[in-house]
Structure 1
Amino acid sequence: MRLSSALVAAAAGLLLAVSGCTSSSDTTDAGSSSSAAATTPAEPQAAEIEWEDCNDRIQPLIAGSPGSERPLAFECGRTEVPITYEEPEGATLPVFLIRARLTGQADPIGSLVVNPGGPGASGADAAIRQALTLPEDVLRRFDVVGFDPRGVGLSTPVECIPDELKDRMVAAEPRPTTEAALDDAFGLAQEAADGCAEEYGEALGTFTTTATARDMDLLRQGLGDEQLTFLGYSYGTTLGSTYAELFPDRVRAMVLDAAVDPDTDPRADAEAGAAAFEAGFDAFAANCTQLIAGCPIGGEPRRFVEDLLAQAAAAPIASARAGETRQATPGVVMAAVQAALYTTSAWPQLAQSLAAAQQGDAQGLFSLADNFYGRLQDGSYSNLIDANRAINCADSDPEQDLDEAEIRALAIDWGQRYPLFGAESAASLYTCTVWEAERTPLPDRDAAGAAPILVVGNSGDPVTPLPGAVDLAEDLTSGVLLTWQGQGHTSYPKTECVTAAVNAYLIDLTVPAEGTTCPL
């Protein structure tokens, strides 16, 4: 089990600290409604956003972090959106937001709404992190606003997969190619699906990207912006492009960084992901072996990982962290590897953690894996995994589901062609096959009539390979592609060339020349 197309951060720590901004009505029952169809958007009246100063809760959490010296003020907000847009005047569910503002803004433009990906990652948490990392030129002109999409974080979170089951998912065989391993993988997927269907029933169909895009337009109105300025990463590119399809005339500027390919079916997307992660691992390995101080895992990193997987299979590896009773199975080893491939800044930690695990201490591996899946030190999880499955499956097309026999054959085939990541990528296709929820497949997206939309792709992205950005830019009538020849997941603001181009677009609506490529 792996999170697909995610820019993942463990959001729960920050959000639990500011959760006092929510109220008891956050437990609104969504069980009586069905999902909204991808038809012409309804026009419900936007509810007022109730803002509360939560600076005193957030500032201690970010103290000492890079960017925390900036003069920032934070507000927590809450509003209501329709459970279903088929009945926009009916029952509602709460949406949680955070707004960050730099003191001394000059000539403000409005709000920059951000989404970090997932699906399942917290947009509210992203607003905090983006306020610390976005260029000050942008912060001087925009408030940074992030919201938890429906089903995520503090916005009526989907919570139907027990922590104990999540532990088993992470620890499970990461390369299931035998009948027994595939039986186990399918059994875990079925157990999660059954539990969520029992917990939510028809309400599982309400957690769709189409509905969230409509929610986002109500938030735009509540923020007082005539048009939306949006920055979306990974899955956020799906959310943003869906919004642009539904509301093309309401787009002021939209940056879609690390695009999920809109033109592939689940099988092609899963295979492209396996191939991209293999290439990402090779990039990590090449970097490690070229270090002047030497690679902590030797001159053949792939061989090292294979040997470590065998070691963990024979005897799971303990952790030196006080109170830790878990032992690292091959599943934990691969979870740590995959987590670190999202960002090059984690490569040194991965190399050191793998080396330590070989010597009998899996503490570093658990740290990477736990952060990736949202596991806290007390053993509880955020609802990242639950929401990821619920939203991905609610968005999927049931006609594209693969049956069990097809998936078993792919796992064996891909396990040979993509030795580290292929078998699990194939097995993940079973997740939505057994998910019991009404589906609202994503609409085709050309966003005809929208202002220019900037799509940013990274030639070395191991999560959302560059062809996805190429396809999305081509599909969007006003799409413009900006390419970075870099490594890791997402591109902005990691390099001066990309940063300058995106800043000029967000602030002045200056679009880079078509085909612009930024060097590493």
Structure 2
Amino acid sequence: MTLITAGCTMPTFAPEGADEPARPGGAVSSVGSPAQWTPCPDVPEGLVGRAASGMTYECASVAVPQDWAAPNSGETYEIELLRIRSKKQKNRIGSLLLNPGGPGASGIDTAVYLSFGQAQGGLPTEVTDRFDIVGFDPRGVGRSSPVKCISDKDQDASFGADPDPASSTDFNEVAALNKRIAENCAKRYGPRLPTFSTEQAARDLDALRSAVGDPKLTYLGYSYGTLLGATYAQLFPQNVRALVLDGAVDPTENYVQGSEAQAKGFERAFTNFTEWCSQTPAKCPIAPDARGAVTDALAKAEASPVRGADGRDATPGWIFLGLISSLYTESGWASLAAAIDDLQGGDASGVFALADQYADRKPDGSYTNLFDANLAVNCADTDDAPSVEEIRRLQSEWRTKYPLFGATLAVGMLPCSFWTGKRDPYPTGPATGAPPILVVGTTGDPATPYENTADLAKMLGVGQVLTWEGEGHTAYPSTPCIRQAVDGYLIDLELPQEGLRCPAR
């Protein structure tokens, strides 16, 4: 399964026992018509058990063409939106539309989490007092005509598979699984597969801007959401008010380059984790040799995996998934150390908790459509996927360059190599005519490496870089320095000082 997901800054959600989240309800608007909002307090109640104090929640749906190249075909997708408004709102500027990344993560869920305020990691009141916060699930994601073509059994097999199948027999087994997944998606969606591309979603975003009544778009995009925002800026530069692109994807990289950049980024983040273990052994039970402990756990799991409480074996694949999950935030480092320490003692619960959080696997063994959508979008966007033979070669090369992550990120490219759907790659040029766009990067980001930040800003031609010298994936609203810089841009359209670098704490 591809690991280029990069954007799950918040957990995603689906009701227990359901294949997909339920539509919030309400009337469906057509393109060009105002959104018809309906109160939906059940959405935050379903996610976290309550609404945020002082906030109202309303839902709407906008029908968009399945293919913007044929807008009058009559075939549509329904894009679901959630509007959150502070009861203390004054001097309203407009709407702030959110995308948390993935591709495949739910903007509706993310908007709910961010509505709980700065003290709980949410948006500052300076922003919520001036904007309606609008989360949306892009086409194919969550509640918006979701893609669902990978069985729970195949999801388990994919995540549990050997992350670095060295022998030809093992590699061919993993390749066959990925081929079956790709073929199942082709059987279910066929000619619709290219309609899940990023460019199609960017055209939806302009329809949503119109539906919420904004003459120009104000947007906060994390990780893959930076690619969606950058594509929007190229297609509709005249409709941009302010875009914050946090955790930059570099659209100019080809598929292989992007995967190698992630291997390098995760390797660097893991090294930072091991150094933290050495410096704070009281917080890291696998110190002083954390790298040795993790590699030893992977090797032992290949020969004799620990059995989890639900009957799953903690294979190297599940351990590796837990490792990836824990590196997305610095706060995950302690959880990783504890999980590996517990695994050494015969308890796999910590590993599975980390892995399931990343995979969006529910306690009953079912999955949301996060990775179905991730696969559909990534492969629709990719017209340069390497051949199986090239992946096999890169697996060996990257294993040497990036010992823990290289081979696995090479193997992770297999799904798009088997993808039979037509491709619809996104544009990779300047946003000529757009106002300045703020591009935020984190020096210790594993999933969207810091080097991407300047590359995206340069490609757009109107980008300005803001740097956070911190750890983990994405920066806003982590520290006062980052918050003040981003808030000033969103509210007053004032760019931070050029070259500003915010300290980790």
- Asked if these proteins are the same fold (TM beyond 0.5), I'd say yes
- Counterpart in the other structure of 2:13: 12
The yes-or-no answer on 1:431 pairing with 2:432 is no
1:357 maps to amino acid: L
- Counterpart in the other structure of 1:384: 370
Deviation at 1:184, TM superposition (A): 2.1
The answer (yes or no) to whether the contact 2:96–2:218 under 8 Å persists in 1 is yes
Structure 1 residues 183-262: aligned runs within 5 Å = 183-262=172-251
After superposition, the Cα gap between the structure-2 partners of 1:202 and 1:208, relative to the gap in structure 1 and judged at 3 Å, is same
The yes-or-no answer on 1:440 pairing with 2:424 is yes
C-alpha distance after superposition, 1:222-266 (max 9, x if no partner): 100110000000000000010010100100000000101122111
Distance in structure 1 (CA, Å) of the matches to 2:498 and 2:170: 47
Deviation at 1:116, TM superposition (A): 0.3
C-alpha distance after superposition, 1:37-67 (max 9, x if no partner): xxxxxxx942442322111442464348xxx
1:376 maps to amino acid: K
The yes-or-no answer on 1:299 pairing with 2:288 is yes
C-alpha distance after superposition, 1:8-59 (max 9, x if no partner): 2441247979725248999xxxxxxxxxxxxxxxxx9424423221114424
The answer (yes or no) to whether the contact 1:10–1:382 under 8 Å persists in 2 is no
- Counterpart in the other structure of 2:467: 483
State the superposition RMSD in angstroms: 2.0
2:414 maps to amino acid: Y
Distance in structure 1 (CA, Å) of the matches to 2:52 and 2:186: 46
3-state SS in 2 of match to 1:344 = coil
Displaced runs of 4 or more, over 4 A: 14-18, 23-26
In the alignment of these two chains, the number of paired residues is: 495
3-state SS in 2 of match to 1:12 = coil
Deviation at 1:425, TM superposition (A): 0.8
Distance in structure 2 (CA, Å) of the matches to 1:315 and 1:329: 8
Structure 1 residues 83-122: aligned runs within 5 Å = 83-90=66-73, 91-122=75-106
C-alpha distance after superposition, 1:378-424 (max 9, x if no partner): 11100111110100110112xx2222221111101111221111111
Deviation at 1:491, TM superposition (A): 0.6
Q: Greater shift after overlay, 88-97 or 106-115?
A: 88-97
- Work out the percentage of aligned pairs sharing the same amino acid: 44
Stretches of structure 2 that go unaligned for 5 or more consecutive residues are 117-121
Distance in structure 2 (CA, Å) of the matches to 1:420 and 1:114: 33
Deviation at 1:177, TM superposition (A): 2.8
Structure 1 residues 389-400: aligned runs within 5 Å = 389-397=375-383, 400=384
Deviation at 1:292, TM superposition (A): 5.7
Distance in structure 1 (CA, Å) of the matches to 2:406 and 2:484: 37
The yes-or-no answer on 1:409 pairing with 2:406 is no
3-state SS in 2 of match to 1:224 = coil
Distance in structure 2 (CA, Å) of the matches to 1:228 and 1:482: 20
Deviation at 1:305, TM superposition (A): 0.6
Distance in structure 2 (CA, Å) of the matches to 1:327 and 1:196: 27
1:325 maps to amino acid: G
TM-score by length of structure 2 reads 0.94
Distance in structure 1 (CA, Å) of the matches to 2:412 and 2:478: 31
- Counterpart in the other structure of 2:54: 71
Distance in structure 2 (CA, Å) of the matches to 1:289 and 1:77: 51
Deviation at 1:353, TM superposition (A): 1.1
- Counterpart in the other structure of 1:359: 345
Q: 2:481 aligns with which of 493, 497, 507?
A: 497
After superposition, the Cα gap between the structure-2 partners of 1:406 and 1:484, relative to the gap in structure 1 and judged at 3 Å, is same
The answer (yes or no) to whether the contact 1:484–1:519 under 8 Å persists in 2 is yes
Distance in structure 2 (CA, Å) of the matches to 1:165 and 1:294: 37
After superposition, the Cα gap between the structure-2 partners of 1:23 and 1:98, relative to the gap in structure 1 and judged at 3 Å, is closer
C-alpha distance after superposition, 1:278-321 (max 9, x if no partner): 1111111111222262521121011001111122112121234x
The answer (yes or no) to whether the contact 2:7–2:225 under 8 Å persists in 1 is no
The answer (yes or no) to whether the contact 1:277–1:421 under 8 Å persists in 2 is yes
- Counterpart in the other structure of 1:21: 24
- Counterpart in the other structure of 1:3: 3
C-alpha distance after superposition, 1:149-168 (max 9, x if no partner): 11110111110110100000
Q: 2:326 aligns with which of 317, 340, 343?
A: 340
Distance in structure 1 (CA, Å) of the matches to 2:501 and 2:189: 46
Q: Greater shift after overlay, 48-57 or 501-510?
A: 48-57
